[in-house]
């Protein structure tokens, strides 16, 4: 996904100009004309850079820089202003702006400065554990990871099933000062309530039938380390109360025991459910939600970071080959093309399973289409699973989008028909002439 830039300026003409320049560079742009609008936009999040004027009708842009930084949001500000003194520039930088340009400025210089700060913002690839990811849609997570790991704050990780929430939690733990302690995962949905309580908090001998000896519980197990509360949305309400108390008081009480034990754990929670929605219907306690949601990380689905598919696929293949002690197999480019265009409802886990299966099924040194499951090849409606058509806030180039769609359908049709253009055209209800014309235009076959 292209980087997103917020342009804050009271002058509509200036915003328009900057938008045109930035969009031509391939960035996505949102605008704000006042401090209040800018604050609202920033609260919604998702920006990679803010271009901000100082004098705004309802306040000072530098306030925005300051409050954003104090609020813990780590987005670079490029301050632009007309009424400029060197002192002002210094103040802006001191407040945390990454750069300063006085108006009027050369658009080439402006573009260079923007590109520079977006690039600095890109995280070092593969810097974290074995979490593979370089796609821009992951940058907002990866760039904050070192800082998050260093802090001891509670983290809530959301994202569809199989997106890598647990791996990310492990990466945070491994990069944290608690790395020497244990990472203790607990699946909050797997156990009925009474068992879960003793699993988490432990129990005293004789607390209930079958409790033949004291049990320590996972909280104590994780003492000095990190407790990973997986599927946290599945916690029964009564357990939510008990968990909240443990988090607030940093003490636990084993079942059937009246002692309280102090524990020192860092909490990372994860869920693939929409917690806000569960709050509204009373299935999840608001107070617990705010306790957990101190730092929120949302892991995007794999279909929003297709750039990473080849590297992930190769990673899973070489790992599977390693386990089977066979030489590392290559992935044929037709296979890669299918992998890159599939919509991955099961996300990274599904890719992992499919590559492992392919390695097991493929006797030769190259993984070819025949080692993929048919469901992947015959995907009828790759778009049905993508979000419904929605016009982005800042509008977009609909012609380019339609071309992109047509090209993608044609590419898949050619794949399905083994390159036979007549059959591919028929699959898409296109005339052979029109098909051939577009094949040339999109350079779909090598000449």
Ligand X SMILES: Nc1ncnc2c1ncn2[C@@H]1O[C@H](COP(=O)(O)OP(=O)(O)OP(=O)(O)O)[C@@H](O)[C@H]1O
* Contact predicate 144/74, CB 8 Å: yes
Shortest CB 299 distance to ligand X, Å: 7
Shortest CB 121 distance to ligand X, Å: 19
Shortest CB 225 distance to ligand X, Å: 18
Under the criterion CB under 5 A, does residue 166 sit at the interface with Mg ion? yes
The entry of ligand X, Mg ion, none near residue 222 (CB within 5 to 8 angstroms by kind) is none
**What is the side-by-side order of every strand in the sheet holding 77-81?**
28-32, 4-8, 49-53, 77-81, 99-102
Give the H or E element holding residue 56.
strand 55-56
Nearer to ligand X, 68 or 347 (CB): 347
Each as own residue / partner, the long-range contacts of residues 353-362 (CB below 8 Å, 24 or more positions apart, any chain) are 355/313, 355/316, 355/317, 355/320, 356/316, 356/320, 358/317, 359/317, 359/320, 359/321, 359/324, 359/326, 359/329, 360/320, 360/324, 362/329
Residue nearest to ligand X (CB): 164
Contact residues for 266 (Cβ-Cβ < 8 A; gap 6+): 152, 154, 173, 176, 178, 225, 226, 227
Sign of the dihedral through C-alpha 370, 378, 373, 307: positive
Shortest CB 201 distance to ligand X, Å: 23
The entry of ligand X, Mg ion, none near residue 53 (CB within 5 to 8 angstroms by kind) is none
Nearer to ligand X, 9 or 234 (CB): 234
329 backbone dihedrals φ, ψ, rounded to 5°:
-85, 150
Which residues would be at the binding site for ligand X (CB under 6 A)? Answer: 130-133, 159, 161-167, 272, 312, 348-349, 352
Nearer to Mg ion, 110 or 228 (CB): 228
User: How many residues would you count in the chain?
Assistant: 447
The entry of ligand X, Mg ion, none near residue 349 (CB within 5 to 8 angstroms by kind) is ligand X
Nearer to Mg ion, 61 or 164 (CB): 164
Q: In the structure encoding, which two tokens stand for residue 290, read together?
A: 């705010």
The entry of ligand X, Mg ion, none near residue 131 (CB within 5 to 8 angstroms by kind) is ligand X
The entry of Mg ion, ligand X, none near residue 326 (CB within 5 to 8 angstroms by kind) is none
Nearer to Mg ion, 140 or 162 (CB): 162
Under rule CB under 5 A, how many of the chain's residues touch Mg ion? 1
Binding positions for Mg ion, rule: CB under 5 A: 166
């Amino acid at each position: 996904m292209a980087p997103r830039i917020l342009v804050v300026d009271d002058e509509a003409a200036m915003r328009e100009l900057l938008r045109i320049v930035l969009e031509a560079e391939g960035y996505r742009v949102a605008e704000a004309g006042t401090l209040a609008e800018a604050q609202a936009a920033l609260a919604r999040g998702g920006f990679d850079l803010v271009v901000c004027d100082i004098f705004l009708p309802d306040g000072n842009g530098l306030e925005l820089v300051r409050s954003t930084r104090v609020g813990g949001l780590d987005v670079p500000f490029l301050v632009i202003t007309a009424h400029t003194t060197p002192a002002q520039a210094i103040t802006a930088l001191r407040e945390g702006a990454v750069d300063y340009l006085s108006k009027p400025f050369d658009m080439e210089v402006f573009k260079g400065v923007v590109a520079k700060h977006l690039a600095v913002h890109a995280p070092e690839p593969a810097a974290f554990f074995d979490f593979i990811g370089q796609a821009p849609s992951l940058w907002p997570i990866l760039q904050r990871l070192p800082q998050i790991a260093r802090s001891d704050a509670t983290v809530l990780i959301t994202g569809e099933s199989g997106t890598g929430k647990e791996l990310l939690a492990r990466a945070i733990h491994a990069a944290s000062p608690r790395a020497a302690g244990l990472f203790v995962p607990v699946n909050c949905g797997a156990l009925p309530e009474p068992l879960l309580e003793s699993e988490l908090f432990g129990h005293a001998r004789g607390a209930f039938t079958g409790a033949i000896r004291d049990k320590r519980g996972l909280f104590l197990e994780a003492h000095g380390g990190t407790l990973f509360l997986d599927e946290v949305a599945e916690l029964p309400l009564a357990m939510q109360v008990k968990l909240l108390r443990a988090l607030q008081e940093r003490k636990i009480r084993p079942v059937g025991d009246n002692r309280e034990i102090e524990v020192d754990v860092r909490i990372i929670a994860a869920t693939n459910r929409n917690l806000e929605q569960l709050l509204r219907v009373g299935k999840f306690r608001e107070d617990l939600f705010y306790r957990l949601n101190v730092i929120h990380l949302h892991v995007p689905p794999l279909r929003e970071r297709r750039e990473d598919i080849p590297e992930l696929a190769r990673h899973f293949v070489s790992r599977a080959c390693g386990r089977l002690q066979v030489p590392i197999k290559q992935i044929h480019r037709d296979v890669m093309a299918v992998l890159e265009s599939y919509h991955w409802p099961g996300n990274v886990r599904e890719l992992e399973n499919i590559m492992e299966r392919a390695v097991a099924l493929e006797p030769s040194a190259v993984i070819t289409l025949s080692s993929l499951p048919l469901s992947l090849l015959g995907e009828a409606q790759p778009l049905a699973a993508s979000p419904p058509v929605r016009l982005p806030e800042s509008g977009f180039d609909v012609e380019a989008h339609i071309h992109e769609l047509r090209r993608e359908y044609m590419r898949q049709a050619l794949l399905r028909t083994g390159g036979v253009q007549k059959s591919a055209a028929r699959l898409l209800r296109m005339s052979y002439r029109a098909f051939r014309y577009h094949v040339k235009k999109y350079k779909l076959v090598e000449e």
